[in-house]
């Protein structure tokens, strides 16, 4: 062990609290103002939870107030997605019984505790004794007994956390920018194609029979793009030589070291997905996303969506995404939700005249270009952070001498960042914003 470090148990870091789920049979337990964070609300490799499905009521708060956790506490999933999900609270909140929360005592820096638990997630997974159901479950006692290495000095802990937080703070800022751009694009689509409040709408005549502006028409979803099923990979097709295979999990969370790869089998090029392509999962989880990672191969539970001639990329993406509520009402399958290709035609869209389509694309496509660029920046930042994390947490790098810093600034209308650390790495990315 490095000089100045010590070995402790997770339980030594502070108070450990396991969450609760108020009885669902009593609706009065829900609908209040107290955030209720569950593993399904957490995103893999994201520090904070920004959206959650449910809140505790005042009644539930009074019953479970002893498990109300403060900002800066760190929650680790110990049932189900063990070894994958972790979050740091940015507000007072509750968690459910699948999460053990560490509230650091005065000997430990709160942000450092988040990172030391993050680097030790594999140990949490290994603490699973196994259950008859096969579901991962790490008890509170087993969780608290996990041994980890930490600096003795709280100041050293703080310096380590400051270096790593600089990366995560910029990642979070980029995610907020991405969300704003997505919302702006969504609102523009609704204004133009749902409420018909496009530029110049005041002087446009409407067809009394269709209710649409003159020159517009109703079209089936299947006519605005091709929805191609991915390749039906078999276990023998997977290995570690070829392109990564994009499944529903990868579509939602991105690629990681555990993502499957093609064994080198020659798969037709039509199944290749490039950065910026549109993907639509039609099975189990209905979602539409822009693929923001390296080149990969799409599997059979996803549609690769390619705009048809005359239809803009932005229009196709937003129209498909806006149709999810309709798709959800059409889902079939007793054990797995899915939609049939023919059901795409149940969705009818308002197609404008080509000039209007081109005008919309000219306004909205730059928003998506910025989203793609910001996402690339985040990938570079995560890579740099993930290289530093084990080195700082093992004592390989002395945070007192590290020049680790992230500079986020606007230069001439372009977002520019630089990442510097004691390893001499530099990453730089520009994005028109």
- How confident is the model over 272-287, as pLDDT tens digits? 999 999 999 987 778 9
228 vs 71, 221, 319, 329, 414, CA distance in Å? 45, 13, 17, 22, 36
Q: Is pLDDT above 90 for 179?
A: yes
Q: Which of 214, 151, 169 is nearest to 405 (CA)?
A: 169
pLDDT recorded at residue 3 = 83
As a whole number, mean pLDDT of residues 320-325 equals: 89
pLDDT recorded at residue 114 = 98
The C-alpha atoms of residue 203 and residue 184 are separated, in whole angstroms, by 25
The C-alpha atoms of residue 78 and residue 138 are separated, in whole angstroms, by 5
Which of 106-120, 131-145, 181-195, 413-427 is predicted least confidently? Answer: 413-427
Confidence tier at 128 by pLDDT (50, 70, 90) = confident
Q: Is pLDDT above 50 for 406?
A: no
Per-residue pLDDT of 351-384, as tens digits, reads: 999 999 999 999 999 999 999 999 999 999 999 9
Which of 221-230, 272-281, 415-424 is predicted least confidently? Answer: 415-424
Residue 176: how many CB atoms within 10 A of its CB?
A: 12
Confidence tier at 18 by pLDDT (50, 70, 90) = very high
Q: Is pLDDT above 60 for 396?
A: yes
Confidence tier at 427 by pLDDT (50, 70, 90) = very low
- Bridge partners (DSSP) of residue 387 are none
Q: Which of 374, 286, 176 is nearest to 184 (CA)?
A: 176
Q: Is pLDDT above 90 for 317?
A: yes
The C-alpha atoms of residue 298 and residue 309 are separated, in whole angstroms, by 22
pLDDT recorded at residue 411 = 37
As a whole number, mean pLDDT of residues 260-281 equals: 91
The C-alpha atoms of residue 375 and residue 377 are separated, in whole angstroms, by 5
- Bridge partners (DSSP) of residue 37 are 95
pLDDT recorded at residue 332 = 61
Q: What percent of the chain shows pLDDT beyond 70?
A: 89
pLDDT recorded at residue 408 = 42
As a whole number, mean pLDDT of residues 205-232 equals: 94
Q: What percent of the chain shows pLDDT beyond 90?
A: 71
Q: Is pLDDT above 50 for 169?
A: yes
pLDDT recorded at residue 134 = 57
Q: Is pLDDT above 70 for 167?
A: yes
Q: Is pLDDT above 70 for 410?
A: no
> Rounded to two decimals, what is the model's pTM?
0.83
Q: Is pLDDT above 60 for 422?
A: no
The C-alpha atoms of residue 410 and residue 399 are separated, in whole angstroms, by 28
Confidence tier at 186 by pLDDT (50, 70, 90) = very high
Per the model's pLDDT, the better-predicted residue between 330 and 19 turns out to be 19
* C-alpha neighbours within 13 Å on the C-beta side of residue 110: 13
In the numeric block, which tokens belong to residue 211?
Answer: 């209710």
């Amino acid at each position: 062990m490095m000089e100045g470090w010590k070995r402790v148990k997770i339980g030594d870091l502070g108070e450990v609290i396991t969450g609760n789920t108020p009885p669902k049979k009593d609706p009065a337990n829900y609908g209040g103002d107290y955030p209720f964070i569950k593993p399904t609300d957490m995103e893999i490799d994201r520090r904070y939870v920004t959206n959650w499905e449910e809140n505790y009521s005042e009644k539930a708060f009074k019953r479970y107030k002893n498990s109300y956790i403060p900002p800066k506490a760190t929650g680790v999933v110990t049932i189900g997605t063990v070894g994958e999900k972790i979050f740091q609270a940015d507000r007072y909140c509750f968690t459910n019984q699948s999460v053990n929360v560490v509230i650091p005592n005065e000997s430990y820096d709160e942000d450092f505790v988040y990172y030391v638990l993050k680097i030790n997630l594999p140990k949490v997974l290994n603490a699973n004794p196994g259950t008859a159901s096969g579901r991962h479950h790490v008890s509170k006692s087993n969780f608290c007994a996990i041994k980890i290495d930490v600096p003795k000095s709280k100041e050293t802990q703080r310096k380590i956390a400051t270096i790593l937080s600089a990366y995560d703070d910029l990642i979070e800022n980029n995610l907020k920018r991405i969300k704003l751009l997505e919302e702006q694009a969504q609102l523009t689509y609704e204004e133009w194609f749902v409420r018909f409040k496009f530029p110049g709408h005041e002087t446009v005549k409407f067809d009394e029979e269709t209710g649409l502006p003159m020159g517009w028409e109703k079209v089936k979803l299947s006519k605005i793009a091709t929805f191609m099923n991915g390749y039906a990979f078999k276990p023998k097709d997977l290995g570690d030589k070829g392109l990564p295979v994009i499944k529903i999990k990868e579509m939602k969370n991105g690629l990681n070291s555990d993502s499957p790869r093609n064994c080198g089998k020659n798969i037709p090029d039509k199944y290749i997905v490039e950065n910026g392509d549109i993907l639509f999962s039609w099975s189990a989880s209905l979602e539409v996303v822009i693929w923001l990672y390296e080149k990969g191969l799409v599997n059979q539970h996803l549609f690769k969506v390619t705009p048809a001639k005359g239809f803009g990329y932005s229009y196709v993406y937003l129209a498909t995404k806006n149709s999810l509520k309709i798709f959800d009402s059409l889902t079939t399958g007793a054990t797995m939700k899915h939609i049939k290709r023919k059901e795409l035609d149940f969705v009818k869209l308002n197609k404008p005249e080509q000039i209007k389509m081109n005008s919309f694309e000219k306004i909205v496509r730059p928003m998506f270009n910025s989203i793609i660029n910001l996402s690339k920046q985040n990938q570079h930042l995560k890579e740099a952070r993930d290289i530093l994390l084990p080195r700082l947490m093992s004592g390989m790098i002395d945070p007192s001498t590290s020049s680790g810093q992230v500079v986020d600034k606007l230069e001439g209308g372009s977002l520019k960042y630089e990442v510097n650390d004691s390893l001499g790495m530099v990453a730089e990315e520009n994005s028109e914003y």
